[in-house]
């Protein structure tokens, strides 16, 4: 079986796949000081809960935007006897990268672009809500050519109630009206309607400048569920987009 790993800024997501079929998911907090012993123990506990054993796995594919945890991930999986593959320069992806410096393109953007291109078709815009809000354009021929980065939904919300001492932590949901009558609903309006407007305007401007018909918009990311159903310009919502991209790239590179 394959263990697909997506190391994000805040969480490390693990996907369990058997012949491309998902058999389970779990996540752990991204701890930069965590040792391979600690990570090994946590992974084994999670697998035991899912009635699996680390010996059931042969390979691991890793996308990481946290360089500090890469060596820990590598040592952990090698001690388990797994063949380890990182999303890194030289790996086959099936897409082209166009950038002033392709090495600057994060592996999280690459795996999403691969999944969008192969599963939904291009041209496409991937809107991913995570620590940052990403807008990635994949051209009709599968070229990753443009990327926009904005602040993240949850990180912006946290800064609001962390930095302003009189503002409370609130549930992230869209109120029925943007016209607030109390502190909680005023914060919810500002956060939720603000990010709906941000996403809508950026996608509209991207489409205007790209000037192509039938550009699909795919919503994904760890915080995308807060806005699912609220973005009328989205064609597909796929919370598994990154994991699917990892599996597709693994299939292209396995020996």
Active site residues: 108
Angstrom distance (rounded) from CA 138 to CA 128? 14
Instruction: Name residues whose C-beta falls within 8 Å of residue 147's C-beta, 6 or more positions apart in sequence.
Output: 99, 105, 109, 134, 135, 136, 137
Reduced to 3 DSSP states, what percent helix, strand and coil does the chain have, rounded to the nearest 5?
40, 25, 35
Q: Is 249 exposed, middle or buried (0-12, 13-18, 19+ CB in 10 A)?
A: buried
Sign of the CA dihedral with 236 first, then 2, 29, and 132 last: negative
Angstrom distance (rounded) from CA 15 to CA 249? 14
Cβ–Cβ < 8 Å for 249, 111? yes
Question: Where does the chain have alpha helices with state H?
Answer: 36-49, 67-79, 107-115, 153-163, 183-188, 194-210, 241-253
Angstrom distance (rounded) from CA 69 to CA 55? 23
């Amino acid at each position: 079986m394959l263990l697909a790993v997506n190391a994000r800024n805040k969480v490390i997501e693990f996907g369990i796949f058997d012949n491309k079929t998902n058999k389970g998911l779990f996540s752990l907090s991204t701890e930069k000081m965590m040792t391979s012993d600690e990570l090994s123990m946590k992974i084994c506990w999670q697998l035991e809960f899912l009635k699996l054993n680390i010996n059931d796995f042969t390979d691991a594919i890793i996308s990481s935007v946290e360089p500090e945890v890469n060596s820990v991930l590598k040592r952990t999986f090698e001690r388990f006897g797994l063949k380890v593959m990182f999303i890194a320069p030289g790996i086959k992806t099936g897409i082209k990268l166009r950038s002033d410096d392709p090495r600057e393109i994060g592996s999280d953007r690459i795996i999403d672009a691969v999944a969008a291109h192969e599963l939904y078709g291009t041209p496409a815009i991937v809107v991913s809500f995570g620590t940052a809000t990403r807008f990635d354009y994949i051209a009709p021929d599968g070229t990753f050519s443009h990327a926009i980065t904005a602040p993240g939904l949850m990180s912006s919300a946290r800064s609001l109630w962390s930095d302003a001492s009189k503002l409370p932590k609130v549930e992230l949901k869209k109120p029925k009206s943007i016209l607030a009558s109390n502190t909680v609903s005023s914060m919810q309006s500002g956060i939720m309607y603000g990010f709906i407007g941000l996403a809508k305007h950026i996608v509209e401007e991207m489409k205007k400048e790209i000037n192509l018909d039938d550009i699909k918009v795919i919503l994904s990311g760890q915080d995308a569920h807060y806005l699912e159903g609220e973005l009328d310009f989205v064609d597909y919502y796929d919370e598994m987009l990154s994991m699917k991209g990892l599996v597709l790239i693994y299939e292209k590179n396995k020996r």
